[in-house]
């Protein structure tokens, strides 16, 4: 994938209000949200030509046996921006994985592109940075999954982005959602030419019970998708049973592997609703379904821009 995309990618979470860097004023609708709840960001006075900087910090308070795992959805950039520099980092981790997906707006021809960044930490720290040159708009989502360092009680993840707004509305709202398998504090700072202009923060409650992620969560038929189970805090998994589309293929597309791979058949297309039934060693059970979580793009549908990392 091209470098330009990389930048966007990490910004997902940060993007949440990244539009409001510089001298713009930003307001959040809530100071506490549940995982997968929605929060509205209102941005005003973000003028064209503004050079902005935004730093978003996610501090997870680790629960027993849990990985570092969080993500965000419906991150919308309703303005065109360019010449960005993006950096993402983790502290108190050993191995790191960041997945980001980007839907181009129909006004630019539509289509989808994604990226996956992985790496091992050095002395408990990991970072990656990218320069980004091309104009970017559209809707983003991201998933971060990392292994915490031994005995780590806190994992800190940071997104830092600098760029220039070239066109678009000065005032707008974004409705976003976030999730985390650990309780977290999220702080967003906006800078104008390296001077702090605004700060907002909110508390993010942990997902209740077990959860799972899929990478990639948008894919062509025939491509591999990897599911990763995250059991409830303090629980040990005895066995699992997966359905890769509970709505239509509950008994035919399934697996008993804990973290299965799957290849959606070539005639499949559209949203899929994966489900996992978990039996824990203490005898308790749990079922988790993520409705319309996976999006399969059929090879039978002629779409030239899907997974095109260099759109015109």
236-259 residue pLDDT tens? 999 999 999 998 899 899 999 999
Residue 307 lies in a domain: no
Judge if 61 and 87 occupy the same domain. yes
Residue 289 lies in a domain: yes
Residue 312 lies in a domain: no
Q: Round to the nearest angstrom and report the end-to-end CA distance of the chain.
A: 15
Residue 172 lies in a domain: yes
Residue 290 lies in a domain: yes
pLDDT at 135: 62
Give the CB-side neighbour count of residue 254, counting CA atoms within 13 A. Answer: 15
Judge if 277 and 183 occupy the same domain. no
pLDDT at 37: 95
Name the token pair of 32.
Answer: 């506490």
Phi–psi pair at 260, nearest 5 degrees: -80, 155
pLDDT at 301: 55
pLDDT at 2: 38
End position of a domain, from candidates 204, 221, 245: 204
Residue 217 lies in a domain: yes
Judge if 122 and 232 occupy the same domain. no
- The lowest-confidence range among 5-9, 139-143, 248-252 is 5-9
Q: Give the structural domain span for 249.
A: 211-297
Domains held by the chain: number: 2
pLDDT at 88 over 50: yes
């Amino acid at each position: 994938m091209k470098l330009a995309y990389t930048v966007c990618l990490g910004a997902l979470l940060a993007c949440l209000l990244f539009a409001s860097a510089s001298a713009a004023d930003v307001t959040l609708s809530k100071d506490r949200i549940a995982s997968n709840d929605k929060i509205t960001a209102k941005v005003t006075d973000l003028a064209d030509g503004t050079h902005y900087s935004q730093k978003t910090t996610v501090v997870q308070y680790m629960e027993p046996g849990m990985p570092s795992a969080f993500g965000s959805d419906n991150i919308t950039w309703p303005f065109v921006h360019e010449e960005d520099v993006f950096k993402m980092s983790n502290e108190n981790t050993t191995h790191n994985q960041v997945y980001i997906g980007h839907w181009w707006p129909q006004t630019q021809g539509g289509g989808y592109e994604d990226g996956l960044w992985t790496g091992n930490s050095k002395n408990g720290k990991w970072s990656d940075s990218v320069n980004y040159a091309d104009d970017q708009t559209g809707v983003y989502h991201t998933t971060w999954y990392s292994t915490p360092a031994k005995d780590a009680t806190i994992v800190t993840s940071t997104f830092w982005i600098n760029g220039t707004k070239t066109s678009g509305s000065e005032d707008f709202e974004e409705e976003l959602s976030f999730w985390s398998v650990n309780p977290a504090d999220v702080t967003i700072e906006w800078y104008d030419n390296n001077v702090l202009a605004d700060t907002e923060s909110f508390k993010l409650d942990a997902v209740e019970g077990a959860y799972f992620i899929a990478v990639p969560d948008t894919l062509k038929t025939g491509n591999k998708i990897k599911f990763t189970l995250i059991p409830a805090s303090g629980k040990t998994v005895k066995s699992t049973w997966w359905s890769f589309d509970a709505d239509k293929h509950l008994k035919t597309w399934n697996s008993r592997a804990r973290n299965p791979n799957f290849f959606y058949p070539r005639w499949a297309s559209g949203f899929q609703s994966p489900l996992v039934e978990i039996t824990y060693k203490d005898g308790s059970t749990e079922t988790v379904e993520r409705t319309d979580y996976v999006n399969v793009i059929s090879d039978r549908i002629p779409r030239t821009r899907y997974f095109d990392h260099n759109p015109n």
